[in-house]
């Protein structure tokens, strides 16, 4: 499917030194980058120049092929102009969304969910997040479970606890199931398939 961004418009070829210069839309082209070009002449003598540049590095279909049979597909539909794909493997969840109507990147999250039974487990979780962040990934930790436990973790001082470590210790002491997810976010304009593979490899705690 081809998405037409703008209608055909007339442009003026400028002069730059001894060369002809055609200015390209800055929102799609950056000085110094490589693009492919092709000149075509039709039978009526019209000269056509076709420029090709890949705007995005992956799609939901790319991710679907990438995870292959190693993941269980939970959801794969297009609803109200949005393609949504999600798949799981053990404690890993891969979620992908893409607008099919607009020229927007594909957004992807990879989440690894773990139950925390000790402060050591939590430290391993935070170490994983720090390791991913140092490699340049957009990473954060998301508490899971009931609202009260999440509030205790996010606002420990409100419950007369020093910090999140004391909050974790207190939650474990109550016997409540305490779960967290390490989440890494990608978009197809900034990231590529190699980075996704690297993140998956680094999310093994």
Q: How confident is the model over 22-67, as pLDDT tens digits?
A: 888 877 788 888 888 899 998 988 988 888 888 889 999 999 998 8
**Could you give the CA distance from residue 130 to residue 144 in angstroms, rounded to a whole number?**
19
Q: How much is the pLDDT for 32?
A: 82
Question: 186 near 51, Cβ under 8 Å?
Answer: no
Band of the pLDDT at 7, cuts 50, 70, 90? low
Domains belonging to the chain, first-starting first, are 14-52 (no CATH), 60-202 (3.30.1460)
Residues with Cβ within 8 Å of residue 113, at least 6 apart in sequence? 91, 93, 144, 179, 180, 181
Q: How many CA atoms lie within 13 A of 124 on its CB side?
A: 14
Q: Please state, in angstroms and as integers, the Cα–Cα distance from residue 99 to each residue in 105, 176, 191, following that order.
A: 8, 39, 17
Q: How confident is the model over 123-182, as pLDDT tens digits?
A: 988 998 998 999 999 999 999 888 888 888 899 899 898 998 899 888 888 887 888 999
**Could you give the CA distance from residue 43 to residue 7 in angstroms, rounded to a whole number?**
24
Q: How confident is the model over 184-193, as pLDDT tens digits?
A: 999 999 999 8
Q: How many CA atoms lie within 13 A of 107 on its CB side?
A: 11
Top pLDDT among 1 and 5 is at: 5
* pTM to 2 decimal places: 0.77
What's the whole-number average pLDDT of the chain?
87
Band of the pLDDT at 75, cuts 50, 70, 90? very high
Q: Give, for 93, the enclosing helix (H) or strand (E).
A: strand 92-99
Q: How much is the pLDDT for 27?
A: 78
Query: Order of strands, edge to edge, in the sheet holding 92-99?
Result: 72-79, 82-89, 92-99, 107-115, 179-187, 138-144
Q: Where are the alpha helices (DSSP H) in 29-146?
A: 60-67, 119-134
Q: How much is the pLDDT for 1?
A: 54
Q: Tokens representing 53? A: 């540049």
**DSSP conformational letter for 62:** H
Angle at 90 between CA 199 and CA 95, to 5 degrees: 55
Question: 179 near 145, Cβ under 8 Å?
Answer: yes
């Amino acid at each position: 499917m081809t998405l037409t961004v703008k209608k055909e418009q007339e442009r003026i070829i400028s002069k730059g030194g001894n060369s002809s210069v055609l200015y390209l839309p800055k929102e799609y082209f950056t000085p110094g980058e490589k693009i492919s070009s092709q000149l075509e002449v039709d039978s009526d003598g019209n000269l056509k120049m076709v420029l090709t540049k890949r705007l995005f590095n992956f799609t939901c279909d790319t991710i679907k092929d990438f995870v292959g049979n190693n993941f269980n597909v939970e959801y794969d539909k297009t609803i109200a102009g949005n393609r949504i794909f999600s798949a799981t493997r053990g404690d890993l969840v891969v979620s992908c969304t893409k607008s099919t109507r607009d020229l927007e990147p594909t957004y992807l999250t990879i989440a690894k969910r773990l139950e925390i039974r000790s402060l050591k487990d939590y430290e391993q979780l935070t170490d994983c997040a720090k390791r991913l962040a140092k490699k340049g990934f957009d990473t954060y930790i998301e508490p899971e479970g009931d609202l009260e436990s999440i509030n205790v973790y996010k606002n420990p001082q409100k419950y007369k606890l020093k910090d999140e470590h004391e909050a974790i210790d207190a939650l474990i002491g109550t016997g409540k199931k305490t779960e967290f997810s390490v989440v890494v976010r990608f978009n197809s304009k900034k990231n590529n398939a190699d980075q996704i593979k690297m993140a998956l490899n680094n999310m093994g705690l």
